[in-house]
Amino acid sequence: MTGHGKIGVVTGGGSGLGRAAALALLDQGWSLALAGRREEALEETVELSGAGPDRVISVPTDISSPTAVAALFGTVRSHFGRLDLLFNNAGAAVPRRPVTEVPFEDWSRVMDTTVTGTFLCAQEAFRVMRDQTPRGGRIINNGAPSAHSPRPNAIAYTTAKHAVLGLTRALSLDGRPYTISCGQIDVGNVAPVDGSPQPPAMQADGTMAVEATVPVARFTEALLLMASMPLDTNVQFLTVLPTTMPYIGRG
């Protein structure tokens, strides 16, 4: 099943997994609005896709702002007429530090983007999906293995991804009466798209190790599987990671 005739929103669509997701969905026939802070990066994704404005638009958005998020989904309604998919991908990365050394600014940045931004986008998408005809749609949240099992020196990221896990469960429950499904994809180490070597990561025992990776295609294949399901079926949680990557017990 492809996305021909289906409309989606991808946040963080200007780089990384957001760009990879957008290009894969467009290739499968979806039409998309790409959201993110950097207009130039979003336009680069549009250019890479080769799709016209009837299929893809870029909407520069600060997803931590309720006003900006409402404007994003207003643009989607006016341009495409409906919404079938939200991929809540955008997040914020900060340096890993021991708990006692985490600046409040880093904590706030991660929470504002990863937690508040995910909630605000889900809230607006929920409103559109609830009120449109035919009713319903799908929300996919980008979680992480850290939503279930933490890494050392990553308290802000771990806390934010645990919050996303709670959002996923709440949205899945509250969406039932409106044919709105919500699932979460948790992807492990993805090989850098620029071909650079994988940097070492701190292990639970404090040592450093270079961990295994998977190509970004493993991620997009999993996302497309989730997105292609009919609305009577939900992939609630899907974890994709290298077989030898530390995760279960982080060892």
87 exposure class (CB count in 10 Å sphere: 0-12, 13-18, 19+): buried
Question: How many CB atoms lie under 10 A from the CB of residue 94?
Answer: 16
Give the distance from CA 169 to its chain's centroid.
Answer: 15
The distance between the two most distant Cα atoms of the chain, rounded to a whole number of Å, is 54
Instruction: State the catalytic residues.
Output: 157
Question: What is the predicted pLDDT for the residue at 3?
Answer: 64
The answer to whether the beta carbons of residues 8 and 18 sit under 8 Å apart is: no
Within 122-179, strands assigned E span 137-142
- Counting every residue, how long is the chain? 251
Place of tokens 């007429």: 81
Among residues 111, 108, 99, 192, which one has the least CA distance to residue 150?
99
Question: What is the predicted pLDDT for the residue at 195?
Answer: 83
Cis peptide before 197 (omega within 30 of 0): no
Report how far residue 114's alpha carbon sits from residue 164's, in angstroms, rounded to the nearest whole number: 8
95 exposure class (CB count in 10 Å sphere: 0-12, 13-18, 19+): exposed
Place of tokens 């899907």: 238
Question: What is the predicted pLDDT for the residue at 102?
Answer: 98
Q: Average pLDDT per run of 10 along the chain, which is 251 residues long?
A: 81 96 97 97 97 96 98 98 97 95 98 98 98 98 96 97 98 98 97 88 93 96 98 97 88 64
Superfamily of domain 7-240: NAD(P)-binding Rossmann-like Domain (3.40.50.720)
Report how far residue 158's alpha carbon sits from residue 146's, in angstroms, rounded to the nearest whole number: 5
Q: Quote the DSSP letter at residue 150.
A: P
